[in-house]
Amino acid sequence: MTSRKSAEAYYSIPDLHERQRRVYACIASNPRMSSNDVARATGMSAENVRNRITELLNDGQIRICGKKRDRITGRTVRQYEKIEDPPTVRWTEVEA
């Protein structure tokens, strides 16, 4: 269970929602991208992208759609795609 202070600290991170939107937009326009692909395309750190992807997965905005070999690392990575009719997005509710 997340404490109230933890939730407040999480939502006070500058540009958090903008970063979520950047990751979502990248995946929406380029289905089957891995987190490493998104990091390279957006210029964000791989760790930051993985955190935003986890949030988007938990919010039901994207889903895992496959696996592939990363062209740089050679490791097997998950691929993501947007969900066509996603539920209401938590980060839009926060801004309203």
Question: Would you say residue 5 lies in a domain?
Answer: no
Q: Average of pLDDT values for 60-73? A: 94
H helix runs in the chain, sequence order = 4-11, 16-29, 35-42, 46-58, 90-95
Question: Would you say residue 91 lies in a domain?
Answer: yes
Question: Is this prediction's pTM over 0.95?
Answer: no
Question: Would you say residue 17 lies in a domain?
Answer: yes
Question: Would you say residue 41 lies in a domain?
Answer: yes
Q: Distance between terminal CA atoms of the chain?
A: 25
Contacts 24+ apart (CB under 8 A), 12-17: 16/91, 17/91, 17/94, 17/95
pLDDT exceeds 90 at position 8 = no
User: In total, how many domains does the chain have?
Assistant: 1
pLDDT exceeds 80 at position 20 = yes
Domain extent for 62: 13-95
Do residues 47 and 39 touch, judged by C-beta distance below 8 A?
A: no
